[in-house]
Amino acid sequence: MRHSSGSITNSELNVNCNGIDINSRKSVGNVDYSIDVISNEITTADGSPITVFDGGLVRIADNDLQGADEASGISIESSEVQVHNNDIGPIGGWNGLWMLGSFDVVAENNTIHDTAREPIRAGEYGSQSPNPQAARVYLANNSITSDGTGSCQATKYDDWGGDFTCPAVHAYRTGVSMFDNTINIPDTGDADGIRAVGALLDIQRNTFNIPGTGAIVTNYDDGYAGSQQYGTLAFFSQNSWAGVGMTYNVTKSSITVQSEYIPSPPPGEYPVRLLWSDQEAYPPNDYQTNIRPTFVQDCANCANMTPRGFPLAINMDNNSTTFTFANLSNL
């Protein structure tokens, strides 16, 4: 469907390629019209059950989506999408939700399970992806599960040190809000809860049952001398962490944590790790290794993609890794 509006409901699709492709939106004057995809069963062999690209305006609700041996459950690029009450999985290829470009997504009350890679991937991760754009996703009351064994590839823009087990949520130069979600990964794997590169995070009242690190946050660095680096700016509050080794691992970023119980780490480990993995940013070198928060607008007249209700000012100390905390127990 291209430059269209309408609805697709109560249908069963079983196809090899993509199930439903939606491109752009229908506009008449200053009025935009959406497409509703509701109460369908969509199974694909290779492609995505649903794709929304190029400025689509879509509501996706109450669908069963599975298959996608070479794709993701719902693939979104530079579009506005509401995703509610869907069952997404098993997904044989990649992610439950895959989001790229300047997206604005709300995903609530979904069950995302049995994905080959990250259940949630937000942002331009990978060396073949386009330049990052301002974007955001709001995740609330979702059930997210994974076996915690999928392999993800490191890129030149992060400091993961090689391939790694895919986390439950992967945020890359984008805004991610998470409220009241449940994330379960069995201890047969070693996946982390969140990995974030140069992101804006608002993470509150979630339950994480995971075997790896709770949250690993680091900076974005394109590797070129003199290029601006972007740290991760994050707020965590009232989250429950079970099964984790280290809870917070922070590199060239700034996070605030309040009202949480920090589990005791295994022997020889620390509950929180702070690192500045670069030369000092100070006046004699013109602060050339400094960090800033990722941008929330692509231009002066573009949409503001600050995460909804973000509790922090969009700034950070440009030459230090910071961990601000209050009312933490067992730390």
Q: What is the pLDDT of residue 102?
A: 95
Show the CA angle centred on residue 173, arms to residues 324 and 195, nearest 5°: 60
In degrees and rounded to multiples of 5, residue 284 shows phi and psi of -60, -25
Q: What is the pLDDT of residue 279?
A: 83
Beta bridge partners of 251: 275
Q: What is the pLDDT of residue 202?
A: 99
User: What HEC string does 126-162 produce?
Assistant: CCCCCCCCCCEEEEECCEEECCCCCEECCCCCCCCCC
What does the DSSP assignment read for 298-330?
A: SSTTSPP-PPTT--S-S---TT--EEEEEEEE-
Query: Six-digit token pair at 227?
Result: 């290029």
Residues shown for the chain: 331
d(CA 280, CA 276): 8
Residues 102, 55: contact at Cβ < 8 Å?
no
Whole-model pTM: value is 0.95
For residue 153, which of 167, 163, 165, 143 has the smallest C-alpha distance? Answer: 163
Show the CA angle centred on residue 166, arms to residues 164 and 172, nearest 5°: 95
For residue 262, which of 324, 177, 329 has the smallest C-alpha distance? Answer: 329
pLDDT in tens, the chain (331 residues): 999 999 999 999 999 999 999 999 999 999 999 999 999 999 999 999 999 999 999 999 999 999 999 999 999 999 999 999 999 999 999 999 999 999 999 999 999 999 999 999 999 876 555 678 999 999 999 999 999 999 998 776 666 777 899 999 999 999 999 999 999 999 888 999 999 999 999 999 999 999 999 999 999 988 787 789 999 999 999 999 999 999 999 999 999 999 999 999 999 999 999 999 888 888 877 788 899 999 999 999 999 999 999 999 999 988 999 999 999 999 8
Neighbour tally for 222: CB within 10 Å: 12
Residues 87, 110: contact at Cβ < 8 Å?
yes
